Each structure stands twice: as structure tokens, then as C-alpha cells.
């Protein structure tokens, strides 16, 4: 039995290395592959790809939060991971990251996420929320170390829209983050969130793609989005901090118990990007998001 297991793992390692080229991966004694891996999951008879990163410091004796990070419209997960790279954080903070790939619009190469219930607001009829929820169920089977109470979503642009949609319509997420994204008007008007859900929004005032003050094409203004989540989470108290030159303002909203459920990072003259060169109090965009969402599980603030 031991010999058979050893042979299986040896063959598996050779297969993985041959498929991955220069990517560094390892296989632990339970067959868990650490490092970055590309995997496929079938949903609605469509094979959907995603990248998963398991920290090289993987320890089967501890529980790991799960973070999803969604690319923007037209994005490619294998490129987005280099723009919004949370791998170093995953190593130091012990969490698992998934970068899913959106499907292409029919007849184009433009990948996308549907951020509304079935309606004309959507870009296609692809069941993205079903894909993510079923993928979570499979990941919980494949990786029993995942803490099902600590699942988070973040996204850039169209991926940020989708993160809001997940917060409104899925019961699996404890906290979400949006960078250069907002709520599509359908989600804003019919959000069906069932329990307090922490939300951080990072947005530039000079964003000419997803306008800070909204537009008539279905994008809700950032102040309206922040107010919706502030009221929903009953976090009516506000603090405002800023960096030394005043180019970045941090708005913190908390309830009477002091629990901070809503945060908005306002970048003056910031444009439409996820910028991990951003430095606010020593943290970049990825660091700000992880610092915020990791304070919560599905039951609320982690004691």
C-alpha cells in the first residue's frame, strides 16, 4: 500500500511538472498540490477554467480562508493574477486564492461576468453565480482545510460588479471588495442580502470607465453604493482618515458596538485600474482588501 502510494505521488509530480513548465509546485503527502495550478470545473456543460494558489506553507492541521478575485471585462485570469497578485499575502496570512476565468461573449474574445439576475442588464445568459457557488462546493470537497465561514470575493471593474452581485444573492460570502467597480442598477434596486455583509470599495474620482458619480447606463454612483451598504449593515457612524497629502481618503463606517462593516477608499484623480503600487499606510490595493475582509466570517466580526 505504501509503495503504491509512493509510486502514485511520484507519477503525479512528474505529470504536474511536465504540464506546468517553469511554475513551481509541490505535492504534500496527502496529494495536495501547493503553488499555482490551473484547473477546470464543468458547469452547465461548459468547462470553466480557474487558477488556484495553495500556499507553499500549507499545513493540513489548520483552516484556510478562501478568497476569490475576479478579473475585469475582457480580462484573462492568468494575466490578472500578476496585476492583482495576492500570492505573497496568501503565504504570510495563510489563505487560499482562486482567480476564475469569465466566459467570452458569443462571437467575441471578451470575457465577462454577469452581475445581475437574468435581465437585460446582463451581458449574456451565462450562469456565473451558479458556477461560483458550485465551484465552492467542489473546493470544499477537494480541500477540506477551507473554512466555509470565511469565504471572500473581490474584483476589478466588471469583477467588482460581480462581487456586489454575489454579496446580494449568495449566502456563501462573509465579505467582499470592489476596485473600480460598482453595483449595476438592477442589483442596487433589488439586492437580496440576507445578513450583515462587510464591504470595502476602492475607487478613483477620475475613473472614466466606471464613473465615480454613476451614469445613465446602469452604473450606480459610489456614494449611493456606500450609503446602501452603510444602511443595510446599520453602520451609521463615520470616521474619515487620509494620507499626508490628502490624495487618498479612507471612510470607515461602524455600528454602535464599534464593528466596522463598510469602508471606502477614495482616490482623488485615481483612474480605472487595480494598482498594487498604491501605498496607503504601507498597504497596497491587495493588502487593503485582505486586511479588511479577513476581519469577518459569515457570523460577523471575528473575535
pLDDT at 13: 40
Domain extents in the chain: 1-28, 32-301
10-residue stretch averages of pLDDT, the chain, 303 residues long: 40 40 56 93 94 96 97 97 97 98 91 84 86 97 97 98 97 98 93 95 97 93 98 97 96 97 98 94 97 97 92
Cell numbers 470575457: residue: 111
Nearest Cα to Cα of residue 106 among 79, 122, 82, 124:
124
Decide if 217 contacts 177 (C-beta within 8 A): no
pLDDT at 125: 87
For residue 232, give Cα distances in angstroms to 136, 168, 239, 240: 26, 11, 18, 20
Nearest Cα to Cα of residue 131 among 176, 90, 184, 170:
170
Decide if 70 contacts 159 (C-beta within 8 A): yes
pLDDT at 107: 82
Please tell me the class of the 32-301 domain.
alpha beta
Kindly give the pairing relationship between strand 64-70 and strand 96-100.
parallel
pLDDT at 10: 40
The whole-angstrom separation of Cα 20 and Cα 190 is 43
The whole-angstrom separation of Cα 111 and Cα 108 is 8
Amino acid at each position: 500500500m505504501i509503495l503504491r502510494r509512493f509510486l502514485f505521488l511520484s507519477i503525479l509530480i512528474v505529470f504536474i511538472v511536465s504540464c506546468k513548465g517553469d511554475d513551481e509546485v509541490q505535492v504534500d503527502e496527502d496529494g495536495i498540490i501547493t503553488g499555482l495550478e490551473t484547473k477546470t470545473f464543468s458547469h452547465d456543460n461548459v468547462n470553466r477554467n480557474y487558477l488556484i494558489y495553495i500556499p507553499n506553507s500549507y499545513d493540513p492541521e489548520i483552516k484556510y480562508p478562501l478568497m476569490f478575485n475576479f478579473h475585469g471585462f475582457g480580462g484573462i485570469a492568468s494575466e490578472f493574477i500578476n496585476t492583482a497578485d495576492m500570492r505573497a499575502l496568501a503565504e504570510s496570512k495563510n489563505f487560499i486564492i482562486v482567480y476564475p476565468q469569465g466566459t467570452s461573449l458569443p462571437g467575441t474574445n471578451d470575457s465577462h461576468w454577469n452581475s445581475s439576475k437574468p435581465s437585460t442588464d446582463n451581458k449574456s445568459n451565462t450562469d456565473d453565480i451558479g458556477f461560483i457557488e458550485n465551484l465552492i462546493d467542489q473546493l470544499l470537497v477537494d480541500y477540506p482545510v477551507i473554512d466555509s465561514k470565511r469565504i471572500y470575493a473581490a474584483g476589478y471593474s466588471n469583477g467588482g460588479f460581480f462581487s456586489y452581485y454575489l454579496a446580494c444573492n449568495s449566502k456563501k460570502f462573509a465579505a467582499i471588495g470592489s476596485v473600480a467597480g460598482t453595483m449595476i442598477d438592477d442589483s442596487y434596486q433589488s439586492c437580496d442580502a440576507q445578513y450583515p455583509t462587510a464591504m470595502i470599495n476602492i475607487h478613483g474620482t477620475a475613473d472614466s470607465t466606471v464613473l465615480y458619480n454613476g451614469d445613465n447606463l446602469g452604473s450606480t454612483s459610489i456614494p449611493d453604493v456606500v450609503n446602501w451598504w452603510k444602511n443595510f449593515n446599520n453602520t451609521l457612524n463615520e470616521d474619515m482618515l487620509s494620507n499626508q497629502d490628502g490624495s487618498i481618503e479612507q471612510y470607515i463606517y461602524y455600528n454602535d458596538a464599534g464593528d466596522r462593516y463598510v469602508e471606502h477608499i477614495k482616490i482623488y484623480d485615481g483612474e480605472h485600474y487595480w494598482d498594487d503600487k498604491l501605498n496607503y499606510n504601507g498597504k497596497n490595493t491587495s493588502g487593503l482588501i485582505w486586511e479588511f475582509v479577513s476581519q469577518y466570517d459569515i457570523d460577523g466580526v471575528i473575535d
